[in-house]
Chain A
Amino acid sequence: MKVKEIMTTRIEQIDADQTVFDAIEKMIERRIRSLVVKFPGEDGADGIVTARDIVFKVIAQKKNLRQVKISEIASKPLICVDQQTELGSVAELMEESNVERVFVRDDDKIIGVVALLDIMAGTLIMRARGQNVI
């Protein structure tokens, strides 16, 4: 199965100079667990901020949500794959890079994201179709 079949195409962005509070608001409103972070003036240098980053690096450390900037907790660079990549290769990449999600790129544009749960879902669908699983 190609990654384009199982990816989530709704990608939300946030500017690096916005606060953690803004990120939480966006994540809860849109029911998502990660945001692509745009660093102004740095072409192609997108980052990512996840619910895990917010909980571990800000909430657990009792920092002020309205004072901590996204740039302080975001991770860079984004780990990306092509939309034709097979699910098995994505799983290997996640394991090697120790990440929970990878982004799907079409040329320079990010068109989707694949998380651990998507890999599991894709694997089950492949099994149900009688296809060879990873």
Chain B
Amino acid sequence: MLFSKYFSRGKKEEKVLEKIRSHIELLCKACELFSTALQSEDTGSMRAIIDLEREADGVKRKIISGIYEGAFLPYLRPDLCRFVETVDDIFDMLEDTAFNAMSIYLPHSIREESFRVAFLNSRMCEMLLITFDAMVEGEDLRERVLAIRIYEKKIDDMKFGILCDLRELAIDSYWYGKALSDFVTGLTSISDIIEDACDHLQIIHLSMR
């Protein structure tokens, strides 16, 4: 294990790594829940995402504390914290998007594409977890990083089409228009932040060589 040479006797690092993993697992769960709730228009499940975000907040605090209580060599700590903060940013964006999803009805013209973006976001989170596991095992990240970029590019292409359709809609209420616009922006920005998180993993991986 690549991380093994940085482990102290107290195995503080192992505990932090386990928590980081469970943080990403929570993210996968939230993204999958969002994808299914969006399709089934299930408000209860959308609300559950807000609860998952709170739970993830608690996990994040424990990770940061664990790191500054002495886990890992000091030069690794800022990058690890930045990665955890970025995963937290994904949660925040997902929570905002779920909140907006509850207050709008999805217009027919962007419905299928929105479902697809939500599905791809959830697949990207799974890939982030796979990439994290690979980093911990000291494996090459190249193929995983490329897979995340492929997903991001696909969502980016879809975003352009959704925005084109959005501009053709007649909006009769300012607040509905704002919520719909924020929903689309949030939905299509999640992949950008996942890609950022993946970049941080790559930086951590490189700095350990």
Interface residues of A (CB under 8 A from B): 5, 8-10, 30-31, 121, 124-125, 127-130
How many of B's residues come within 8 Å of A, CB to CB? Answer: 18
Whether the Cβ atoms of B161 and A121 lie closer than 8 Å is no
**Chain B interface mostly:** helix
Whether the Cβ atoms of A31 and B150 lie closer than 8 Å is no
Asked whether B130 is an interface residue with its Cβ less than 8 Å from the other chain, the reply is yes
Whether the Cβ atoms of A125 and B164 lie closer than 8 Å is no
CA–CA, A30 to B163, complex, Å?
11
Number of cross-chain contacts by CB at 8 Å: 36
Whether the Cβ atoms of B130 and A128 lie closer than 8 Å is yes
Whether the Cβ atoms of B164 and A128 lie closer than 8 Å is no
B106 to chain A, nearest CB (A): 15
Pick the contact of A30 from B116, B147, B150, B161 — CB < 8 Å? B161
Q: Which residues on the B side are within 8 Å of A125 (C-beta)?
A: 127, 147, 150-151
The 10 closest A-B pairs by CB, nearest first: A128-B147, A121-B150, A128-B143, A125-B147, A10-B161, A128-B144, A127-B143, A124-B146, A9-B116, A124-B147
CA–CA, A76 to B15, complex, Å?
60
Whether the Cβ atoms of B157 and A31 lie closer than 8 Å is yes
Known contacts A124-B146, A128-B143, A129-B130; is-contact A9 B154 (Cβ 8 Å): no
CA–CA, A30 to B157, complex, Å?
10
A-B contact pairs, 21 of them (CB 8 A): A8-B154, A9-B116, A10-B158, A10-B161, A30-B161, A30-B164, A31-B160, A121-B154, A124-B143, A124-B146, A124-B150, A125-B127, A125-B150, A125-B151, A127-B143, A127-B147, A128-B143, A128-B146, A128-B147, A129-B130, A130-B130
